[in-house]
């Protein structure tokens, strides 16, 4: 097997990129880091791909850029599971799904020198005028006065600042929580409270298929586009308020990994897909509320250049889970209230779903399936902790 680029001399930031097409997206992110003086030696790239992709070209890209990193197709992930003693948990990461980002979380967990993770989708690019990695790191270290947003529906629209003009709600925002009344004030955020930094996106907004159709677009994008002026203020959502967490532009602290599993979508008998990062965000926000932590939302922005595809294909992938998405947050809204750590809070949410009866919902049995996989996720992390990490070959 060909060698990956040098494995990582000093880095503390694991950059996880799920990709089958536009793996060259790594180039502008590395260039952005160098142009803004961010120490590139801190970055270690993990490209999560498939057996039908050209792994050799991906490795060559990392070598050409002079950055540390590894590439994992399906076969190499299976070998990694074996090497690290967790082959029995290979099912927690679904095949051929965006939720394969969970492999990157396992990879991080196996190496305690990683303090931070970053998710980047391959159809995004950083804004030239922003220090992409530097801003994420600043957000995670933030302490001071911050705008706080809440609504009477207990949901915060991350696009709320220009909602009166464009009327958009992001993918995963419950339809029953629309037409909310928004309130803003300020809150003092202590250094160390922020555990996730969600950057937002210009150009193609992250919408679900129903909303894309309502916007009049049949190619899976949107006729309405966002620009930097739509995101004037960074903010945090108030306690007991939820928000959509999109993994295309997201940084996080290592500590959240037990409560940040990207849910098992697409590869399931109910054909539920497209909610892996959304539901993981619901669980993370609940854990943050219990533990007194925050999700910082706003900058750095990225440009989202979603490729044209059938809006009806996206609709097909989403419709099986639409009703469940309306209710999931309510089912876990009081779970783990006495937890003193992420794993304990997450276990309480897993139990709520795995032990529940949800026959009243279309595809309600999928929630039990999710709960069982959440339990397996925690068991997998425990097994990794007991097994020394094996370096890539």
What is the pLDDT, as a whole number, of residue 10? 65
Q: How far is C-alpha 350 from the geometric centre of its chain's CA atoms? A: 19
Rounded CA Rg of the chain: 20
The answer to whether residue 92 is domain-embedded is yes
CA dihedral 101, 107, 112, 118 (to 10 degrees): -30
Report how many domains make up the chain. 1
What secondary structure, in 3-state letters, does 297-365 show?
EEEEEEEECCCCCCHHHHHHHHHCCHHHHHHHHHHHCCCCCCCCCHHHHHHHHHHHHHCCCCCCCCCCH
The answer to whether residue 5 is domain-embedded is no
The answer to whether residue 392 is domain-embedded is no
Q: What is the pLDDT of residues 176-204, one digit of tens each?
A: 999 999 999 999 999 999 999 999 999 99
What is the pLDDT, as a whole number, of residue 267? 85
Smallest CA-to-CA distance from 8 within 42, 58, 47 is with: 42
DSSP summary character for residue 206: -
CA–CA separation, 36 and 79 (whole Å): 37
The answer to whether residue 4 is domain-embedded is no
> Domain residues for 66?
13-386
Smallest CA-to-CA distance from 306 within 200, 198, 219 is with: 219
Q: Is residue 325 predicted with pLDDT exceeding 70? A: yes
Q: What is the pTM of this model?
A: 0.95
Q: What is the pLDDT of residues 135-174, one digit of tens each?
A: 999 999 999 999 999 999 999 999 999 999 999 999 999 9
Average of pLDDT values for 362-391?
Answer: 90
Q: What is the pLDDT of residues 5-59, one digit of tens each?
A: 445 446 899 999 999 989 999 999 999 999 999 999 999 999 999 999 999 999 9
The answer to whether residue 29 is domain-embedded is yes
Q: 17 - beta bridge partners?
A: 47
């Amino acid at each position: 097997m060909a060698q990956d680029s040098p494995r990582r001399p000093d880095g503390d930031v694991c950059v996880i990129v799920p990709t089958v097409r536009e793996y060259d997206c790594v180039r502008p992110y590395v260039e952005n880091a160098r142009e803004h003086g961010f120490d590139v030696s801190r970055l270690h790239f993990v490209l999560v791909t498939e057996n039908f992709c050209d792994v050799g070209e991906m490795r060559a890209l990392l070598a050409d850029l002079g950055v540390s990193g590894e590439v994992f197709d399906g076969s190499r992930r299976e070998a990694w599971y074996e090497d690290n003693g967790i082959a029995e948990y290979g099912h927690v990461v679904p095949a051929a799904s965006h939720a394969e980002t969970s492999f990157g979380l396992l990879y991080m967990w196996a190496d305690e020198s990683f303090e931070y993770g970053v998710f980047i989708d391959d159809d995004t690019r950083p804004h030239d005028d922003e220090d992409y990695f530097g801003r994420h790191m600043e957000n995670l270290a933030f302490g001071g006065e911050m705008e706080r947003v809440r609504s009477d529906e207990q949901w915060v629209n991350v696009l709320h600042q220009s909602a009166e003009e464009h009327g958009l709600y992001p993918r995963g925002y419950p339809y029953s929580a629309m037409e909310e009344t928004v309130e803003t004030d300020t809150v003092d955020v202590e250094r160390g409270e922020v555990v996730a930094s969600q950057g937002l996106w210009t150009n193609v907004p992250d919408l679900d298929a129903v909303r894309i159709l309502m916007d009049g677009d049949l190619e899976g994008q949107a006729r309405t586009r966002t620009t930097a002026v739509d995101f004037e203020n960074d903010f945090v959502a108030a306690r007991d308020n939820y928000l959509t967490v999109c993994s295309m532009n997201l940084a996080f602290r290592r500590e959240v990994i037990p409560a940040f599993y990207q849910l098992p979508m697409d590869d399931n008998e109910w054909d539920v897909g497209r909610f892996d990062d959304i539901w993981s965000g619901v669980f993370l926000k609940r854990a943050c509320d219990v533990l007194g932590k925050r999700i910082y939302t706003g900058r750095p922005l990225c440009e989202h250049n979603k490729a044209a595809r059938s809006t009806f294909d996206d609709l097909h992938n989403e419709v099986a889970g639409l009703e469940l998405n309306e209710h999931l947050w309510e089912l876990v809204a009081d779970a783990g209230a006495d937890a003193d750590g992420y794993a304990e809070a997450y276990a309480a949410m897993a139990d709520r779903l795995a032990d529940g009866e949800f026959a009243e919902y279309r595809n309600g049995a999928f929630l039990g399936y999710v709960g069982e996989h959440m339990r397996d996720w925690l068991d997998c992390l425990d097994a990794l902790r007991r097994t020394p990490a094996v370096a890539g070959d």
